Each structure stands twice: as C-alpha cells, then as structure tokens.
Amino acid sequence: MSRPGNTIRLGLLCWIGSLALVLAKGPTPPPPRHHGYHKMMSLIMNNAMDGIMRAQEEWSPDDKQNIWELSGLDEGDIMTDSEETSRNAVREAESKWPGGVVPYHISDEFDDEEQQVIKGAMEEFHENSCIQFRPYKEGDSSWVAIKNDSPGCWSYVGRRGGGQVVNLGNRCVQHGVAAHELLHALGFHHQQSTHNRDKYVKIHWKNIRRGTERNFKRYPSSRVQDFNVPYDYESVMHYSSHAFSKNGKPTITPKEEGAFIGQRSRMSDKDLQKLKLMYGCESSTGGGITTENPDYDDHYRNDNFWSFHFSVQVSVILIWISVQVSVILIWISVQVAVILVYISFQVSVILIWISVQVSIILVRISVQVSVILILISVQVSVILIWISVQVSVILI
C-alpha cells in the first residue's frame, strides 16, 4: 500500500514534468493563413486525390520519379493561393525571410523519429549557410507550419506572411525531400525552370503525361534569378529523368554525357551557393552571415535576445517551482512524521491499557477459582468426617 506522501510527490513530479514539457515546446501558432485547403478541395472535386494517394502509396525509393513529383500540384509540389508566376529564385524582396531567420512549428502529428529527420534537414541549412530555422514565438508575423494532414509533399515558394504550410505527407519525411520543400519556402523553384535550361537538358514532350506539360515551362531571365551560378544537374531541386512520364520513358535528359539528375539525398554545392548569394551570406563558398545583409543584425540579434530572455525566464520559473515543491515536500514529510509518532503513542497507550485489563481479569479469575476450590475441599472434608462417624457407630 503506497504512502500518502509518495502519492503527493508523484503527482507533483508529473505536474512539474508536464509544465516543463509545455515550456520546452513553446507556444502553438494560430492557424496559418496560407494552408492550401482550397487546392486540396479542388483535387478532391476533380476526382484526382485518389490517384495521387495511390501513386504515393505505390512509390518506392527505387522509382525513377521523385515522390514530390506525384503531389498533383503546379510543377508537382508547388502550392499556390491563386494563379501565380513560378520562378527559380523568386526576385521580390518580400519573398525573402528577413535576416534569413525562419520561424517554424512542427506538428505533433509527426512522431519523434520523423521530427528528427525534419530537424536534420534544417541542420544542413544551419551548417552550410546563414539560414536559421528557429521555433515559432508569439508575435512572429511569418512562420512555416510543417504539417502532414494532407496528401503529398508540397510548399509555397518564398515567404508569404501570416504563416504558410510545408506539407510532408505519407512517405515524404525524408532528409532530401524536407530540404527540397524548405528550399521552396526560402524562395527557390525547380532548377529546370530556368531561362537557359534548354542548353543543358532536353525535354521529351512526347513522353509527358497529358495535362502536365505546363510543369516543364521555363521562364525568362527577367523573371528568374540564378545568381550567375552555372546550371546544376546535381541540384536537389531538379526534376528526375522520368518526371510526369506517361509511358515509362524519360521526359527530361541531360545533354552533358554522364550527368545524373533527380538526386534526392541532400542539397548540392550549387544549391547552397545560390542560397547564400540570395540571402547575402558571407561568401558563395562558406557559411556564416555578412554585414552586407542589412536585415540580419536587427533580426538575428533580436532573436538571440528573446531566446536568451525566454531561457532565463524558464530557468527562473523552474527554480521557483523546485523551491516551492521542496518546501511542500518537507512540510508533508514533517506532518507525516508527527502523525506517525502520535499514532505510535496512541497504540502504545492502548496496548498498555489492554495488558492491565487482562491482568486484572486474570487475577480475578484466579481468586474466584481459588475460593471455589477451597469451598469444595471443605465440603469434601465434612462429608468424609460424617461418613467416618457413621461407620464407627455401626461397628460399635
């Protein structure tokens, strides 16, 4: 049987653990403004959703297509709020994340292992560029909501404001796929959409599935920015050779002999080079931040200040809780000890009283038995004397 003190301690520890977990996870953002529900409803109404889900369920890592090419959206995995222009690295300043800082919130629908995959993709950005993904905080006006409540792997291109979904549905939680979709959110489009792509790849229009030809559209240099970085066959943003194929034959092939397209493992060196040029990182070959990025100092230092401030507040709260809990536990222990001493004293008094009463009863019984035995002895003696007298009279 458990003691009351242990039960109280367990309850307090559970409460503290729950509070610490809530503090560690941080606040939950409001519903994102850019969620893609309208597009999902359109796919359902057009009876396209079943085919998308079936194609993704049947996909395997050995397939010649990338899984994000099967999401049924513009260019496969680009979510739009309306008819929007696609581009490799979007030019509008408002599409960039100020200071390269991207607040994010990962849905609880992902298990621990899946969350580690997503955070591992973010870490690749941290280690190789000035991009900083950090948890959402109250007051953030823009953030990425990483969810898996819709089929497919998809993202908006560039910062939209008010929260925007990066969806990693079934089979999409892979390092390379997560990096691909996060690059979209940072402002990048697919490599083969650049204005000069026909110098480097050949599009096989006859092999492309009807209705998806627009996914191979290229854009003029006035609407696409490649930062003068050479065409990148190894880009994680490049279509696979069999993207949107209707007959199992290639739809896009490199003109450079031996080149491979469609890798889905990680960002290429040129992906990172363009990313750092876009966000004004220190150089095109290394990580870090440069003072050439005017947005960085205010945003990054502000983020660091609030992160430090939040950490200090959490530490103070946890210390205060620990002190209060310790005081409560000491008080409970003292009260329990007093109660146990009192109970022991009362039990001892009761046992002594019972012993005395039993002794008195036993003495009384002994006296009564002795009196009875004496009376019996006297009666027997009288009877024996009478018998002796009678026998003597008869004999005389």
- Give 143-178 pLDDT, tens digit per residue: 999 999 888 999 999 999 899 999 999 889 999 999
Between 176 and 344, name the one with better pLDDT: 176
Between 225 and 30, name the one with better pLDDT: 30
Q: Residue range 232-260: average pLDDT?
A: 95
Q: What was the pLDDT predicted at 22?
A: 44
Three-state helix/strand/coil letters over 173-186: CCHHHHHHHHHHHH
Q: Residue range 355-374: average pLDDT?
A: 90
Architecture of domain 45-292: 3-Layer(aba) Sandwich (3.40)
The residues assigned a catalytic role are 181
Q: Residue range 332-358: average pLDDT?
A: 90
Print burial letters for 346-373: b (CB count within 10 Å at least 16), e (below 16). Answer: eeeeeeeeeeeeeeeeeeeeeeeeeeee
Q: Which of 141, 33, 150, 45 lies closest to 81, judged by CA? A: 33
pLDDT of 352 > 90? The answer is yes
Strand partners, 166: 146, 155
- 6: pLDDT confidence band, cut at 50, 70 and 90? low
Between 195 and 93, name the one with better pLDDT: 195
Least confident of 61-70, 82-91, 125-134, 257-266: 82-91
Please provide the average confidence, as pLDDT, over all residues in the chain: 83
**β 201-203/153-155 pair status:** unpaired
Q: Does 180 belong to an annotated binding site?
A: yes
Q: Does 34 belong to an annotated binding site?
A: no
- 396: pLDDT confidence band, cut at 50, 70 and 90? confident
Identity at 15, one-letter amino acid code: W
The torsion defined by the Cα of 15, 19, 21 and 23, in degrees rounded to 10, comes to -170
Between 25 and 385, name the one with better pLDDT: 385
pLDDT of 26 > 90? The answer is no
Q: What are the pLDDT digits (tens) for 270-303?
A: 999 999 999 999 754 444 433 334 443 444 344 4
Domain coordinates in residue numbering, the chain: 1-30+298-396, 45-292
pLDDT of 31 > 80? The answer is yes
Q: Does 184 belong to an annotated binding site?
A: yes
Percent of the residues in the chain that have a pLDDT greater than 90, as a whole number:
55
Q: How far is CA 209 from CA 76, 118, 200, 212, 248, in A?
A: 12, 32, 22, 6, 10
Q: What are the pLDDT digits (tens) for 48-72?
A: 888 888 888 888 888 888 898 888 8
- 41: pLDDT confidence band, cut at 50, 70 and 90? confident
pLDDT of 308 > 50? The answer is no
Q: What was the pLDDT predicted at 130?
A: 97
Q: What was the pLDDT predicted at 327?
A: 86
Q: Residue range 130-149: average pLDDT?
A: 95
Q: What are the pLDDT digits (tens) for 257-266?
A: 999 999 989 9
Contact 34, 156 (CB under 8 A): yes
Q: What was the pLDDT predicted at 285?
A: 43
- 35: pLDDT confidence band, cut at 50, 70 and 90? confident
